[in-house]
């Protein structure tokens, strides 16, 4: 931890030095992130001030370390504030940019994960917080997980959403049936095989989670597959950096107009990056792709070459984890990252799945709360 603090000559920042490394904080950052009860509500932790409450000529007039805390005095307010050094270490921003473009606690995977698909039993998930925490953490890490031990019944998939959050209702209903229909409004409701895809890219925002639960599955075929979209994007970047930049740097268009009174359109990139280059999401769905009118003529051929290359990577069986759901089993996918697919099915027997959408903010909130409670 840090043992020494020096304020810059103009008082605009300070530097902390110690055996574990040096770091710096700006006066404006420290004042904005003061922990005192006049700045942060002691109950809900929300900020009580706006930037207009901070003097434009703010400086640090004093700083010292005492009893594991950094103490400073701000001028011209003459306001004293303190932060535990551990808190500052957790929030330090004076560090080299991360080499990996992956979000925190995300791990890419390929077919090797077939041997260790994250799975938990519904009753245990409902009754044991540690099991639920570990299962939610697996979804954060891998972007999907299975559930076993459900009673195959209509609407049973809502029990999974109840573990962490709320259903996202759409024009397909609170839940949708995935089984062969006559005159289907969506190709999902046929026996056709479906290339790996993310759902509903024509929405903005997309549903960030999907749950699919199996009620009947005696037909031959119909296996489910999942592919890590982040792993696919990174493989594309390694093979074709310019292609990666093209797919990330231009919007794609998606549309769904398959139902009466419904005309969903979105304009978002296939590879979605944060401004610092961190992978934020993947949208990939051949059925819902609309004509792309946003790539300059000079780049369109290369954009398509990259799109095809990504499609080939996604179709590579070395990327896929495959499982056949039995009645009473379900899986959940992070629909911003993990693509799902199914093999065609036909013949005798039946295949009946029910699906619903939910959102990742609630899942991550529940997970963080569980982790904090266990810390
Ligand atoms: Fe789907």
Round the average pLDDT of the chain to a whole number and report it.
95
Query: At CB < 8 A and 24+ separation, what contacts does 95-102 make?
Result: 95/23, 97/276, 98/278, 101/234, 101/273, 101/277, 101/278, 101/279, 102/230, 102/278, 102/279
Q: How far is the CA of 80 from the centre of ligand 1 (A)?
A: 55
Q: How far is the CA of 359 from the centre of ligand 1 (A)?
A: 16
pLDDT one-digit tens code per residue, 307-340: 999 999 999 999 999 999 999 999 999 999 999 9
Q: How far is the CA of 74 from the centre of ligand 1 (A)?
A: 55
Q: How far is the CA of 305 from the centre of ligand 1 (A)?
A: 25
Q: How far is the CA of 341 from the centre of ligand 1 (A)?
A: 7
Q: How far is the CA of 199 from the centre of ligand 1 (A)?
A: 5
Report d(CA 220, CA 217) in Å as an integer: 8
Residue 169 Rama label (left phi>0; alpha psi -120 to 50; beta): beta
Query: At CB < 8 A and 24+ separation, what contacts does 323-327 make?
Result: 323/117, 323/146, 323/223, 323/224, 324/217, 324/222, 324/223, 324/224, 325/212, 325/213, 325/214, 325/217, 325/224, 325/353, 326/214, 326/217, 327/152, 327/214, 327/215, 327/216, 327/217
Q: How far is the CA of 79 from the centre of ligand 1 (A)?
A: 56
Q: How far is the CA of 33 from the centre of ligand 1 (A)?
A: 43
Q: What is the DSSP letter of 304?
A: H
Q: How far is the CA of 143 from the centre of ligand 1 (A)?
A: 15
Mean of pLDDT values over 45-71: 97
Q: How far is the CA of 263 from the centre of ligand 1 (A)?
A: 18
For the purposes of burial, counting CB atoms within 10 Å of the CB of 115, is it exposed (0-12), middle (13-18) or buried (19 or more)? exposed
Q: How far is the CA of 277 from the centre of ligand 1 (A)?
A: 27
pLDDT one-digit tens code per residue, 2-36: 999 999 999 999 999 999 899 999 999 999 999 99
Q: How far is the CA of 335 from the centre of ligand 1 (A)?
A: 9
Residue-wise DSSP of 22-62: -EEEEHHHHHHT--STTTB-TTT--B---GGGS-TT-EEEE
Mean of pLDDT values over 342-356: 85
So what's the pLDDT on residue 250? 98
Q: How far is the CA of 114 from the centre of ligand 1 (A)?
A: 20
Q: How far is the CA of 107 from the centre of ligand 1 (A)?
A: 23
Q: How far is the CA of 200 from the centre of ligand 1 (A)?
A: 8
Q: How far is the CA of 130 from the centre of ligand 1 (A)?
A: 30
So what's the pLDDT on residue 131? 98
Q: How far is the CA of 136 from the centre of ligand 1 (A)?
A: 21
So what's the pLDDT on residue 374? 73
Reported confidence tier of residue 182, pLDDT bands at 50, 70, 90: low
**What pTM did the predictor assign?**
0.93
Residue 183 has pLDDT above 70, yes or no: no
Q: How far is the CA of 261 from the centre of ligand 1 (A)?
A: 21
Q: How far is the CA of 129 from the centre of ligand 1 (A)?
A: 30
So what's the pLDDT on residue 192? 83
Hey, CA dihedral for 153, 154, 160, 163, is it positive or negative?
negative
Residue 243 has pLDDT above 80, yes or no: yes
Reported confidence tier of residue 100, pLDDT bands at 50, 70, 90: confident
| Residue 93 · residue 39 · CB < 8 Å | no
Q: How far is the CA of 339 from the centre of ligand 1 (A)?
A: 8
Q: How far is the CA of 126 from the centre of ligand 1 (A)?
A: 26
pLDDT one-digit tens code per residue, 187-231: 777 778 889 999 999 999 999 999 999 999 888 888 999 999 999
Residue (of 72, 65, 82) closest to 18 by Cα position: 65
Q: How far is the CA of 179 from the centre of ligand 1 (A)?
A: 12
């Amino acid at each position: 931890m840090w043992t020494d603090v020096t304020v810059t000559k103009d008082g605009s920042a300070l530097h902390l030095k110690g055996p574990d490394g040096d770091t710096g904080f700006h006066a404006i950052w420290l004042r904005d992130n003061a922990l005192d009860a006049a700045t942060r509500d002691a109950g809900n932790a929300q900020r009580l001030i706006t930037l207009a409450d901070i003097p434009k000529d703010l400086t640090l007039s004093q700083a010292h370390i005492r009893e594991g805390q950094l103490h400073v005095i701000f001028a011209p307010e003459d306001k004293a504030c303190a932060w535990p050094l551990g808190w500052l270490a957790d929030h330090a921003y004076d560090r080299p940019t991360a080499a990996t473009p992956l979000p925190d606690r995300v791990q890419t995977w390929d077919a090797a994960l077939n041997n260790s698909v994250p799975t938990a039993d519904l009753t245990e998930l409902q009754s044991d917080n540690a099991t639920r925490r570990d299962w939610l953490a697996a979804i954060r890490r891998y972007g999907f997980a299975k559930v076993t031990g459900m009673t195959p019944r209509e609407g049973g998939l809502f029990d999974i959403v109840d573990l962490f959050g709320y259903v996202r209702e759409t024009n397909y209903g609170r839940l949708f049936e995935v089984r062969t229909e006559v005159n289907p409004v969506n190709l999902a409701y046929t026996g056709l095989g479906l290339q790996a895809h993310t759902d509903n890219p024509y929405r903005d925002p997309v549903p960030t989670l999907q749950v699919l639960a199996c009620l009947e599955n005696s037909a031959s075929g119909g296996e489910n597959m999942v592919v890590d979209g982040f792993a696919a994007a990174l493989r594309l970047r390694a093979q074709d950096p310019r292609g990666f930049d093209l797919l990330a740097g231009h919007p794609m268009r998606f549309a769904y107009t398959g139902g009466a009174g419904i005309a969903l359109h979105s304009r978002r990139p296939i590879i979605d990056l944060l401004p610092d280059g961190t992978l934020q999401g993947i949208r990939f769905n051949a059925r819902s792709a609309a004509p792309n009118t946003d790539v300059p003529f000079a780049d369109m051929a290369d954009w398509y070459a990259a799109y095809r290359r990504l499609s080939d990577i996604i179709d590579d069986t070395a990327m896929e984890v495959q499982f056949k759901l039995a009645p009473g089993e379900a899986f959940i996918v992070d629909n911003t990252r993990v693509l799902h697919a199914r093999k065609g099915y036909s013949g005798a027997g039946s295949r009946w799945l029910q699906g619903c959408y939910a959102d990742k903010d609630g899942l991550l909130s529940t997970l963080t709360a569980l982790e904090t409670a266990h810390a």
